[in-house]
Amino acid sequence: MKTAIVILNWNGQKLLEQFLPSIVNFSSELADIYVADNASTDSSIKYIKEFYPSIKIIENTRNEGYAKGYNDALCAVDADIYCLLNSDVEVTKDWLNPVLEVFKTDKNTAVIQPKILDFKDKNKFEYAGAAGGFLDLYGYPYCRGRVFNTLETDSAQFNDISDIFWASGACLFIRSKIYQQVGGLDEDYFAHQEEIDLCWRVQNIGFTIKYVGTSTIFHVGGATLQETNPQKTYLNFRNSLLNVVKNVPKKWFLFVIFSRLILDGIAGIKFLVELRPIHTLAILKAHLSFYSNFFKFLKKRKKLQKKQNYNLHTSIVWQYFILSRNKFKNLK
């Protein structure tokens, strides 16, 4: 299988200097390496051409976010497998082989995520994807190894190969034909949680998403938008609601929508109590954008072949904040 690692970059020369060495050293024999540049104004392109002439460069004309950046770039990539890789990721020796082996042996697997550990604390799972993602009843995402802001220590408890519901966009492998078949990433998301929507649509057409714990990467996380940045709060709350409108099965649709509006309101109050009103405003802004996009996403919803069921038995909010269950193994 022809594999392409595609790194989306925007003014990230320092990250490229830090993380390209491991990617080149541990990947170049098995994959072509691309940098898709979102109209950077720093010296990123000059740096790559000078120090990594073997890396292929795709220059997008504008910075229009993660989703459109990848959609535009991947049109120019000839490969059977795409690896969408963040620029703040350190890969490890032999990280590709376990993933490619699953693709070879399981034709129904369309998307794969490796184990994602924290670059700053390499014994801990990393927030963005940890050991593979799931959704609770209300559409809130969580991971094996990460529930809300609680990160587990890696003690080989997730060294398995397992079905998951969504794979992290920090490092997401996908069959190119499937990517094109489902229409790629939804560009209306701009950034954050668009990979959840992508994985949901992949499952809608009958394919599976897998986590391969025998492959490991280290992710900085927050290198583009810090966790404390209200823009991140805005995108996460808005895009999570858009996922619900677009993908939740019909029989749960109204219940989940109204429940989410209430729960998000409670989250806004929590931010006020914590003296972080800028995040309350971000949630308000997210809901206003959600309302303005509601009917547009209803139209998108109607085009999907079916709405794949997700976890209809778990409320992460209830279990985490009320029952104090902060590890994946304790969730019920």
pTM of the model: 0.94
Helix (H) or strand (E) segment spanning residue 217:
strand 208-219
Domain boundaries, the chain: 3-219, 230-330
Let me know: does 70 contact 169? Beta carbons within 8 Å.
no
- Measured in whole angstroms, the distance separating CA 194 from the mean position of its chain's CA atoms is 7
Rounded Cα distance, 84 and 70, in Å: 8
Dihedral pair phi/psi, residue 325, rounded to 5°: -95, 105
Q: How far apart are the first and last CA of the chain?
A: 39
> 228 CB contacts (<8 Å, ≥6 apart)?
none
Question: What are the tokens at 332?
Answer: 């019920």
pLDDT along the chain (332 residues), means of 10: 97 97 97 97 97 97 94 97 98 98 98 98 96 95 96 98 97 98 96 95 96 98 67 95 95 94 96 96 97 96 85 87 95 88
Q: What pLDDT score does 306 carry?
A: 81
Rounded Cα distance, 193 and 272, in Å: 25
Give the Cβ contact number of residue 160 at 10 Å.
14
Residue the block writes with tokens 């950046």: 69
Residue 245's identity, in one-letter code, is: V
Which CATH number fits the domain 3-219, given the four candidates 3.90.550.10, 3.30.565.10, 2.60.34.10, 3.30.1360.30? 3.90.550.10
Q: What pLDDT score does 135 carry?
A: 95
H-type alpha helices, the chain: 13-27, 44-51, 65-74, 96-105, 176-181, 194-204, 230-247, 250-273, 277-303, 316-317
Q: What pLDDT score does 304 carry?
A: 87
Rounded Cα distance, 320 and 322, in Å: 6
Give the Cβ contact number of residue 291 at 10 Å.
10
